[in-house]
Amino acid sequence: MALTPKLINDGNAAVDEMLAGIVAAHPGHVFRPDNSPRTVVARHGPRQGKVGIVIGGGSGHEPTFLGYVGKGLADACAVGNVFASPPPQPAIDAAVAASGGAGVLFLYGNYAGDVMNFDMAAEMLEMDGIEARTVITTDDIASAPRADRQKRRGVAGNVFIFKAAGAAADLMYSFDEVERVARHANDRTFTMGVALSSCSLPQTRRPSFELPAGEMEIGMGIHGEPGVRRGPLRSANEVADEIMDGILAEMNAPAGARVAVLVNSLGATPLMELYILYARVAERLGAAGLTVHKALVGPYCTSLDMAGASITVMHIDNELERLIDHPCDCVMFRS
């Protein structure tokens, strides 16, 4: 099996070298605390009396997670190895850096390693007098039935959920209210993806799973977790229709409702193809009587060099609209 070409030095050092590059490129936005190289902190985010927002997870999904650290969004991020949860210490360091005395909210996707390590971090923080709570994102509708939503994965919908919670914290909402907003945003966010090819990890430079040429897998996860259906590659409109059928049925929004939409590249799929997908998504939403308040198109939650895309729809209300529109200034995202 041929190696996938990559512009790296040492696969085992890729995450740390990436972090060094990000801090060097964006010193006005982020820094790494002394003796905590896997923690990224916003220069202008944390402040006294503000609820701290800490996000985190495995690398390889950039700009998720560390790209959303900045004023008005996340205050700090704990960074794991490629597709691996960060250990507790970077999460602790991130929480300490983000703490303004009003509590710290951990936000991350629903993966076993993340849950275990962030829970350990929260317990250790409590011993030091910092209250830490957790909201786990579960927007991937393909990963578990609706009745078991708490078992679903968190994927590209993280962008909208983090955005709403970060804005609430920036507006000085109380700890209870920031947590409520995060849960409310998660409950109204729905994502499904399609993979067209595998990705390759820096350490191996070989495909991490097999997906034959000319086939696609609907519902595959961002680490290559099994989807709901594998079959021949279909047209962009057919793929968008299959995904939108699932999202619209789950969301069950009445005509006249407003939505925020994300058409996301998993890494290798170019903007041309994303906008072709978005044209069909907009058509379907219009046919359902829904109004698009905000649309994002591009690589917002990737899976290294995987070919494919995901579609996220958030059913917004007046509060979520204000929070989604609230200004933020991050390394890889501004609004």
Give catalytic residues, as residue numbers. 61, 223
Tokens of 279: 């044209």
- What lies within 8 Å, CB to CB, of 290 at 6+ separation is 253, 255, 256, 257, 258, 259
Measured CA to CA, the distance from residue 198 to residue 183 in angstroms comes to 32
CB 57 within 8 A of CB 87: no
The owner of tokens 């430079």 is: 205
Measured CA to CA, the distance from residue 239 to residue 50 in angstroms comes to 43
Which 3-state string (H, E, C) describes 124-173? HHHHCCCCEEEEEECCECCCCCHHHHHHCCCCCCHHHHHHHHHHHHHCCC
Measured CA to CA, the distance from residue 192 to residue 219 in angstroms comes to 6
Measured CA to CA, the distance from residue 173 to residue 182 in angstroms comes to 12
Count how many Cα atoms sit within 13 Å of the Cα of residue 202 in the half-sphere of its side chain: 19
- What lies within 8 Å, CB to CB, of 167 at 6+ separation is 72, 73, 322, 323, 324, 326, 328
Please tell me the total number of residues recorded for the chain in this structure.
Answer: 335
CB count in 10 Å sphere of residue 173: 19
